[in-house]
Structure 1
Amino acid sequence: MDGSIKHLWIGLLTKTFNVTVLMLKSISLENFKCFKEEATFNLKKINVFTGYNGRGKSSVFQSLLVLSQSLHRYGNIETLEINGDLVQLGVLEDLINCEKKTDSTIRFHLKSDIEGAEDIKLGYKEKEDSERLGKLDELEIDGIDYFNREVSAIQDDKNTIMEIHKLSNYPTQFHSLLSNYNYVSADRKGPTLYEEKRDLTIYNPIGKNGENLLNAIAKKKTLQDKVNRAVSYIMDGGEISINGEYARKTDILSLNFKTSNSSENKFKSINCGYGYSYVLSIVANVLTINKGILFIENPEAHLHPKAQSHLIKFICKELAEKDVQLFVETHSEHIINGIRICTLKKDSLITHNDVCFYFFDMNYCFIKLNMDENAQIDNWPTGFFDQQEIDLAEILKLGLLK
């Protein structure tokens, strides 16, 4: 083997991975789903996406989730796993903007706090042997193009040169930017009688649908106590108990609820409605994640407005001191207002500078809302939680005309 090539491979094999999770500062999407031209989202500690249905909110989540599941599936970023544990998006052609079919590359542009990997550009085309996979076609980090960079020290064919330099030189800290993701899907598991005992994975251990929820809670008594305190606060009373805990010789876990602190009666989860079960996946993820990014879709689902407000306040408080970024997709003004309240409380570690709101309008455009230190928004757009005022005005008008 040529000495220069050998040196590169040794460097690749002996390189130390830095697992410190650092802040994702922005993500830009180009030719990805509804984003024809490059669309940039500057990010903060708490990032909230709201607006009209089917206008691109979920696509922002999916862009990061598809990269993360690809890294976990293959151990690198060279193959895009379009259908994995987090998201199933069909074939690569489905991800290409329908108005830009002449360009077959979807592009992701990430900016982070990672020294040596602060500016990362990725491009993927359809893999020759599978329409359900993408192959890395563009890679640029901090201005260095890893596909077109000429390397005079190695005399070999171009493909080998590019492969070696791509693998050995892109900063391994980039892995940590996509590694620690917890995802709570809108389609999470509702009330269920039983859950089989199983080992938890390190990656998104509770599961995007909450399929491993009882296993996660049952493994640690201290976690169950924390969950109970959170549930009691969010739901104005309540407690969970899990039967078949790990010390017992059974393969089944079951969940019971006590819906009032003043009563000792416990009920099977299937007899307590969806609210308690839906909130549990969120609570458990918030309490167990210590670093990375937590994605939550529709946290308001099946919850009374007061519970929605309590839930987001609990989330903000718990994550304030953790090395965790929060991504929330919501259609609830109670979630939005709960976050605004958190930024105003004197004892809160979350300020208006830690929060970013994006609103997606009916024309597939989005705007970043400007919130000041008094939690006031000065560029309130049409369609941004104004339906109540519209309906009340119509009620008043129709009532006067009777």
Structure 2
Amino acid sequence: MCNGRIEHIKLKNYKCHRSFESDLKKLTILAGENSAGKSSVIQALLMQYLVLGKKMSSINTLNVMGNNLGVALNLISPESVTGGFSIETTVDGVERILNYSVNETEEMVLDVQGNKELIKTELYYLNAERIGPRLANQIYNDSCYVGIHGENVIYVIEQMDKMLMSNPDISLPRDVEIAKIKRFSANVEEWLGIIVPDTKISTKVNVSQGIASVEYNTGGDFFGATATGFGVTYVLPIIVQALIATTKKNALIIIENPEAHLHPYSQSMLGKFLALIAENGVQIVIETHSEHIIDGCRIEMANTGHNEEMGIIFFSRSGGRYEHENITVNDVGELSSWPAKFFDQSMEDLRELLKIKLCKQ
């Protein structure tokens, strides 16, 4: 059994990726065009975790950690000569190649062969489709995982308060523990107030009824979640799960679209927060369309001298070709390259507006 982070990933004949290979940093950002292969890399990481972390010998493609991938055959590149695909991950310098093929009798099942030596990593995955504001949420008996959609976040906050109070060996890192009160929920509220200014929370859990609820205060009285915007509800599970991950020895968080429903300022602050979490030992993979998330990460990493721990993989497609480019960050936060369509739309739109102005003069 190996500990540590995933250092490298290689895909062969998985969906649009005939051949994909890249290092994974402490903080890896997947960016680029729609339908260019970003989500496919995340799906591959999830499948590897189910096999290597959860001891699964086969994969049900209808439920890959909440993702319905459809018929197994559709996951295989048409150009595959083996009738399957492979995913290779390197952990602690040890390569694990797993070969996936369609089960002979079940079209929704992938059989897996290869080096299945277990990895001791806690994986937390937050889907792009997180739950919106609810008056109450059902609770699930998991004290450390907010759930794929963030549905268990309120119950987890209460359970983490109890866990940290009863176990002195579990604590938040010094850089992350910013609340004056050494309580998990107090630190959640402090970080929420930094990312979404002047926001406070009040949680209630009714175990006998199996429900949990939250109220928010954004400068006045406390109101139910349905009286507050989507942004706060969407970002709360990210903050909670990230803080929990810092208490684990080996943790990987995969987050899709963390920027959803957030103001650009909050997106930037969230980027800084996630970079700080990565600096405190958590491996993070982010799929995003937000330059503000990326810029926040760049600022934090450059400011603390951890820029080499951040990497961006930019995905693009043209004429049926799928390509990717690795972008690094230097010690002042500059990017090693700026490929076409990499967050250049604002400049393109300004050029077009300037042309309109000149034509009308």
The TM tier, using the shorter chain, reads 0.7 to 0.9
Paired position in structure 2 for 1:295:
254
Do structure 1's residue 378 and structure 2's residue 336 form an aligned pair?
yes
Tell whether 2:315 aligns with 1:360.
Answer: yes
Secondary structure, counterpart of 1:219 in structure 2:
helix
Q: Does residue 134 in structure 1 map to residue 82 in structure 2? A: no
Q: Is the 8 A contact 1:92 1:131 kept in 2?
A: yes
Alignment match of 2:10 (pick from 12, 20, 28): 28
1:279 matches 2:219? no
8 Å contact from structure 1 (residues 65, 86) kept in 2:
no
Find the counterpart in structure 2 of residue 391 from structure 1: 349
Q: Distance in 2 between matches of 1:109 and 1:255?
A: 42
User: Normalized against structure 1, the TM-score is what?
Assistant: 0.78
Identical amino acids, percent of aligned pairs: 30
Q: Distance in 2 between matches of 1:124 and 1:57?
A: 20
Give the superposition deviation at 1:217: 1.2
- Specify whether residues 320 and 97 from structure 1 end up closer, same or farther in structure 2 by C-alpha distance, changes over 3 A only: same
Rg larger for: 1
* Residues 212-227 of structure 1 mapped to structure 2, 5 A cutoff: 212-221=152-161, 222-227=183-188
- 1:351 corresponding residue in structure 2: 306
Structure 1 pair 65–211 and aligned structure 2 pair: CA distance change class (3 A):
same
TM-score calculated relative to the size of structure 2: 0.87
Picking from 67, 70, 92, the partner of 1:113 is 92
CA contact (8 A) 1:298 1:328 kept: yes
Counterpart contact for 2:308–2:328, Cα < 8 Å: no
2:1 is the alignment partner of 1:40: no
Amino acid of the residue matched to residue 276 of structure 1?
A: V
* Contact 2:275 2:300 (8 Å CA) reproduced: yes
| SS, match of residue 365 in structure 1 | strand
Question: What amino acid is the match of 1:275?
Answer: G
Q: Superposition pairs for residues 251-270 of structure 1, below 5 Å?
A: 251-260=210-219, 263=220, 265-270=221-226
Distance across 1 between alignment mates of 2:155 and 2:266: 25
Partner of 1:65: 46
Name stretches of at least 5 consecutive residues in structure 2 with no aligned partner: 162-182
State how far apart, in whole Å, the 2-side matches of 1:226 and 1:360 are. 36
> Any unmatched runs of 5+ in structure 1?
1-17, 142-169
> Distance in 1 between the 2:190 and 2:233 partners?
15
- What is the CA–CA distance in structure 2 between the aligned matches of 1:375 and 1:191, rounded to whole Å? 36
Matched with 1:234 is: 195
Measured in 2, the distance between the counterparts of 1:245 and 1:42 equals: 45
- Compute the displacement of 1:89 (Å): 1.0
Aligned residue for 1:87, secondary structure, equals: coil
Other structure's SS at 1:48 match: strand
Partner of 1:83: 62
Tell me the residue number matched to 2:101.
125
Cα RMSD over matched residues? 1.9
* Contact 1:45-1:326 within 8 A present in 2 as well: yes
Alpha carbons of structure 1 residues 315 and 399: separation in structure 2 relative to 1, 3 Å: same
Q: Distance in 1 between matches of 2:267 and 2:332?
A: 22
Of Structure 1 and Structure 2, which has the larger fraction of its residues in strand? 2
Structure 2 contact 275–301 (Cα < 8 Å) conserved: no
Query: Which residue does 2:129 correspond to in 1?
Result: 187
| Residue of structure 1 in register with 2:73 after alignment | 93
